[in-house]
Amino acid sequence: FQASMVTPGNVPKLVQHMPLCMRTMQTGLQKDKKLRYHGRLQYGLFLKGAGLSLEDALVFFQRSFSNMTAEQWQKEYSYSIRHTYGKEGQKKSKSAYNCSGIINSQPPSHPGDHHGCPYKEYDSDKLSKLLQSLKIGSTPGDRQAIVNLQKSKHYNLACLEHFKVMHPNQEALKDISVDNIGNHPNAWFRASLAYKE
Ligand code: SF4
């Protein structure tokens, strides 16, 4: 897997290789044509970790924040993307959040908030409907297995189950590191791309 595979044009097409948190973020971004502070940070750092360069991140987010003038983008938002890459403020380059960082961070509190871990933030009914709408799993039993783990608050295992349902055939999985799936969103993404190759 080449980091250069992730470009401003193909991020939306890579959603099926993303864990539920990041998939939800991309959907929210497309719907609202912007992301609020915590979302920009969580998704921006994930994409950076997936190999999106600063230049490409600026193109991607400006294109996605399509309801505003170039001036508004420059004034209010481009700074925070540059900040994510350590080019503003204290100039410290940040790493992508791991799952416990996401699960334990400030929960979404506004209808425009799409950050956080859906396994923690959604009730099982909402999760079940989301899995169905995304056509995750070939049978209702596949989805139920994910929901059951979420109900017992095993968010990381629910996330791993999502990965297994989306990437059947255990033999192929043997050569792919699933160790960090449910611990880091970028591990999910990397393993999913490796499975495809
Ligand atoms: Fe994202 Fe981690 Fe939650 Fe999975 S367990 S949805 S990777 S935060």
Q: How much is the mean pLDDT over the chain? A: 93
pLDDT of residue 159: 98
| C-beta of 20 in contact with ligand 1 (< 6 A) | yes
pLDDT of residue 127: 97
Q: How far is the CA of 75 from the centre of ligand 1 (A)?
A: 32
The answer to whether 62 touches 78, Cβ cutoff 8 Å, is: yes
Burial of 150 (0-12, 13-18, 19+ CB in 10 A): buried
- Residue 96 is classified by DSSP as P
Max Cα–Cα distance, the chain, nearest Å: 52
The answer to whether 132 touches 124, Cβ cutoff 8 Å, is: no
pLDDT of residue 4: 52
pLDDT of residue 138: 86
Q: How far is the CA of 79 from the centre of ligand 1 (A)?
A: 27
| C-beta of 159 in contact with ligand 1 (< 6 A) | yes
Written as six digits, the tokens of 185 are: 């969103």
* CA angle, residues 164, 169, 170, in degrees to nearest 5: 75
pLDDT at 175 over 90: no
End-to-end CA distance of the chain: 8
pTM (2 d.p.): 0.94
Per-residue pLDDT tens digits for 90-145: 777 789 999 999 999 999 999 999 999 999 999 999 999 999 999 998 889 999 99
Average pLDDT of span 74-81: 92
pLDDT at 63 over 80: yes
ipTM metric: 0.99
Q: Which residue puts its alpha carbon closest to atom 1 of ligand 1?
A: 21
| Ligand 1 nearest-atom number relative to CA 183 | 2
Average pLDDT of span 7-22: 96
pLDDT at 1 over 70: no
Query: Which of 83-97, 151-165, 172-186 has the highest average model confidence (pLDDT)?
Result: 151-165
**Strand ranges (E), the chain:** none
